[in-house]
Amino acid sequence: MGMSVSVLAQTLKGSEIIKIGGEINELKRKGEKIANLTIGDFDPSIYPIPMGLKHGIIDAYHANHTNYPPADGVTVLRENISTFLKERFHLDYQINEVLVAGGSRPLIYATYLALVDPGDKVVYPTPSWNNNHYCHLSGANGIPVPTSADNNFMPRAEDIRPHLKGATMLALCSPLNPTGTMFAKKDLEEICDLVIEENSSRSEDEKPLYILYDQIYSLLTFSDKKHYDPVTLRPELREYVIYIDGISKCFAATGVRVGWAFGPQNIIGKMRSILGHVGAWAPKAEQIATAKFLTQTADLNTYLKNFKNQLQLSLDTLYQGVKQLKSEGFEVDSIDPMGAIYLTVKIDYTGKTTPDGDLLQSSADVNFYLIKEAKIAFVPFSAFGSDSSMNWFRASVGGCSLADIQGMLPRLKAALEKLK
């Protein structure tokens, strides 16, 4: 009798980023040194977590905080998140409107499961991180909305408008993974107004349209760039917005696994029940430490300032290097870094032939050529739901030193010069 797996398991698409990672690991096994700009993570030797957070975690383990945490997060952490939201974002959410979990991923998934029935429409821009996979996991009818470099790959109201009728959720992120770009105030205001207009047109027995707003990178903004969020711009949306946030990116604490969602209490409560069955809690010691660190305002601000300066220097170095290549006539481009840990890079070399005679037919082909020839790894936007013909890539600087980035630019130039 033949064994089979579920339709969900059979049809789940693998991660293109993991495939790229496999190629990199194989080359590393052979002794190659690769400038790995693929993963949205940090090399802890370059970007360590804050000392106050580290010592707090150690102290919490010494204090034996090793049992189950409450299903919605330890009370002191939710209290301090509530205060943090008021101080940083002027958002007023009580502790029963805050849910803590093991990073932002289970919270995003719980939002899908709490709001979306199989077949429901979920609208999301492309490129964007993982919405296509969450739609698949939840049985949603995913509606990808392509964006372009003309607006820094951020969606406009006119892009979204045709798709909102009957939709259950609009998934947005700013600063955006994979582009490192952000909503302009006017663009987000106009999208919020669309959601208000759509909800006002629905009857009481219809499910409203919700916004999933991922702002995990909100504290990592550069220069004069300002982060905007829906409820601040349009308070009447408060009952329809679920926010995703946490410490993973803003404190280089991806492996510490403390994230939080906040939003309407009735939805947060259902998400808590879902995650309670899954058991996707953040470890208790790490929760206790995070609660303490959020109150250490001076240390937190100092860390953030230094962290952002270091990130921006790497991003700017890569950006200027790509722009220099463009000025020399290479078919490349880049968008000024605004936030997060990503740079958007265009490498428009599909249709070219490698020195071995291979035709580069897609952005993935270009990427694998650069891995082998230049020892540089990007992630094509096709990994984020965009068409494989789009010659734009995500470059993440979290895993590379400034010296690594400076050293890779001549190799990039030399590899591109070999293409015909």
What three-state secondary structure class fits 15?
A: coil
Tell me the average pLDDT across 74-93. Answer: 98
User: pLDDT, tens digit, for every residue of 188-200?
Assistant: 999 999 999 999 9
Question: Strand pairing partners for 262?
Answer: 98, 243
User: pLDDT, tens digit, for every residue of 137-177?
Assistant: 999 999 999 999 999 999 999 999 999 999 999 999 999 99
Q: How many CB atoms lie within 10 A of CB 353?
A: 13
User: pLDDT, tens digit, for every residue of 304-338?
Assistant: 999 999 999 999 999 999 999 999 999 999 999 99
Rounded Cα–Cα distance for residues 219 and 248 (Å): 11
Rounded Cα–Cα distance for residues 228 and 267 (Å): 23
- Out of 12-16, 65-69, 104-108, least confident range: 12-16
> Rounded to two decimals, what is the model's pTM?
0.97
Rounded Cα–Cα distance for residues 285 and 60 (Å): 5
Strand ranges, E, within 264-415: 332-335, 342-347, 376-377, 379-380, 392-396
pLDDT at position 1 over 80? no
pLDDT above 90 coverage of the chain, percent = 92
Tell me the average pLDDT across 350-374. Answer: 96
Beta strands 392-396 and 379-380 are: antiparallel
> CA angle at residue 274 from 269 to 280, to 5 degrees?
110
Q: Which pLDDT does position 410 carry in this prediction?
A: 98
- Out of 19-23, 43-47, 175-179, least confident range: 19-23
Level-2 CATH architecture, domain 7-47+301-417: Alpha-Beta Complex (3.90)
List Cβ neighbours of 84 (8 Å cut-off, separation of 6 or more).
294
User: pLDDT, tens digit, for every residue of 44-64?
Assistant: 999 999 999 999 999 999 999
pLDDT at position 391 over 70? yes
pLDDT at position 3 over 80? no
Q: Which pLDDT does position 22 carry in this prediction?
A: 81
Rounded Cα–Cα distance for residues 240 and 211 (Å): 6
pLDDT above 70 coverage of the chain, percent = 99
Q: Which pLDDT does position 20 carry in this prediction?
A: 86
Judge contact between 183 and 153, C-beta under 8 A: no
Residue-averaged pLDDT of the chain: 96
- Out of 47-51, 159-163, 262-266, 385-389, least confident range: 385-389
**Could you tell me the two tokens for 287?**
């929760």
Q: Structural domain boundaries of the chain?
A: 7-47+301-417, 51-295
Question: Is the domain 51-295 a CATH 3.40.50.720 member?
Answer: no
Judge contact between 95 and 82, C-beta under 8 A: yes
Please give the radius of gyration of the chain, using alpha carbons only, rounded to the nearest integer: 22
Q: Compute the Cα dihedral for 232, 233, 234, 238 and give only its sign.
A: negative
CA dihedral 10, 15, 18, 23 (to 10 degrees): 90
List Cβ neighbours of 231 (8 Å cut-off, separation of 6 or more).
91, 237, 238, 241
Q: Which pLDDT does position 15 carry in this prediction?
A: 78
Rounded Cα–Cα distance for residues 3 and 113 (Å): 28
Rounded Cα–Cα distance for residues 317 and 315 (Å): 5
pLDDT at position 2 over 60? no
Rounded Cα–Cα distance for residues 307 and 301 (Å): 10
**Could you tell me the two tokens for 200?**
């006002």
pLDDT at position 377 over 80? yes
